[in-house]
Amino acid sequence: MQRNNKYPLKHLSIRVPWHDHAWNGTICEKPKNNSSCLILKNCAQNRNDDRENELAGESIANLSEHDHPVCVRERGTFMCDFSFTTHVNHPYKENNNPQYQHFKETPLRHSPYSAFGVPFLWLQREVAQQKADYYDLDVDLSREPELNFHTIWLQEYSNQKAMLDCFFEHVEANSSLCFFYAKEVPFVETSGRVLIGVGRVKHVGDGTEYEYSAHGALRCMLWEHQIQHSIRPGFKDGFLLPYHEAVAYACENEDFDPAELAVVAPSDKIDEFSYATEHVSNDTAIRVLLDCVKSLEKAKELNLGNSDWEEQLKWLHERISELEIIRGPYPGLGSALTAFGIDRGHFAAREIVDSTKEDKVWDTVDKMFNEPGKVLSESLANRISPTLQKRWQINKAKSGSEKIELLQLLSRFDLTIEQAKNIFVAEEREINSV
């Protein structure tokens, strides 16, 4: 899967369970002591403690799929250095729903150093409709099958594919980063998201359709897309935070708390580290990487582990520098234009930024309202209505052009559409101040 350049570049957060042997394709050394992974519903309901205890420390390369720990489905092997295959049954077939009985068990190949991204939020019907309207996607809820039970999830193949393609087409190999995080780790008392490691996205796999035993009315996608990352032993291109080493160090140094090294995702950006797999903005990525710098500087000071943390610190500074360039001076331009009333404001912003020098962006915006067809592609130019053009000219003509200046200010910040509207649109501001 390739990035679609009409979408802004995004990074990925990928949730993993805690693992006491660094997610390397083995069963935990002490499975029963790992209560942190039980925060994940699948692990809590399906973990087989007795069997995992019998196989403690064993590589899944030596096990049948029947003996794989449940955390394999939760990306608990993202640092595994070998490939293996699992098989997936549609959960509604397992519930004996007649509309899914033609679905076959479908193989999923796990490549070395990879994790399956599953953007759960984007596959909720209500959210999918909102995003489809915004991104102009071919999503039609009337195509969804009539089921004999209620579900919030998209079920129809083309709807699922449209949403999954859009989500992963925001990601670019080698430019996008992947942030692995856990909802709970054993040494941090917080309800936040604890960063586990950071690498670059090396490859985004295509979507997979379920296999079928016969033709049926209903087709579905597997939601998993394989994300291959750059983190390797030796940490030349990405790293794991030295949590396991910190826990061992604390056993010999009672005055040390391993939580001192924990990197927790910003509380105001919790949505970017939720729903198993989600987009991370450039600004959030920079904030998290700066916190990683502090953590690794502490690790270097304590001489934790066998890594040359100076090399990882250099890697971090290089990534931060790249992100600042990618971010550009107008990360909120799309949200600002949308707040002003432009439909598909992010697409318009993309075309403006890609064709204009930094110091001429707002000159181009002004030209867009005067002569849309000379700035934007035809489909976007047609969305700049005479009403919008008149509104722009009225605001521009006002003394001081305060509204225009506010838009310019908003364009400098990495804001969501809702945030920009709350600030720019007086009615929205009044509603949210009550």
* 101-119: average pLDDT: 97
Measure the CA–CA gap between 296 and 318, rounded to whole angstroms: 15
Q: Which two tokens stand for residue 406?
A: 């506010």
Judged against a pLDDT cut of 80, whether residue 307 lies above it is answered with no
Judged against a pLDDT cut of 90, whether residue 33 lies above it is answered with yes
Measure the CA–CA gap between 86 and 106, rounded to whole angstroms: 8
* 247-275: average pLDDT: 95
Q: What is the pLDDT of residues 144-182, one digit of tens each?
A: 998 888 999 999 999 999 999 999 999 999 999 999 999
Note the pLDDT of residue 399.
Answer: 61
Judged against a pLDDT cut of 80, whether residue 429 lies above it is answered with no
Measure the CA–CA gap between 93 and 101, rounded to whole angstroms: 6
181 backbone dihedrals φ, ψ, rounded to 5°: -140, 160
Q: Give the residue from 301, 290, 269 showing the smallest Cα distance to 414.
A: 269
User: 82-93 burial string, b = 16+ CB within 10 Å, else e?
Assistant: eebebebebebb
Note the pLDDT of residue 191.
Answer: 81
DSSP type of residue 280: E
Instruction: State the first-to-last Cα distance of the chain, in angstroms, to the nearest integer.
Output: 45
Measure the CA–CA gap between 405 and 57, rounded to whole angstroms: 61
Q: Outline where 371-425 has alpha helix (H).
A: 378-381, 386-397, 402-410, 417-424
In this prediction the pTM is 0.90
389 backbone dihedrals φ, ψ, rounded to 5°: -60, -45
Q: Give the residue from 201, 198, 200, 227 showing the smallest Cα distance to 289.
A: 198
Q: What is the pLDDT of residues 288-304, one digit of tens each?
A: 999 999 999 999 999 99
Judged against a pLDDT cut of 50, whether residue 254 lies above it is answered with yes
* 326-348: average pLDDT: 91
Note the pLDDT of residue 169.
Answer: 98
β-strand partners of 240: 197
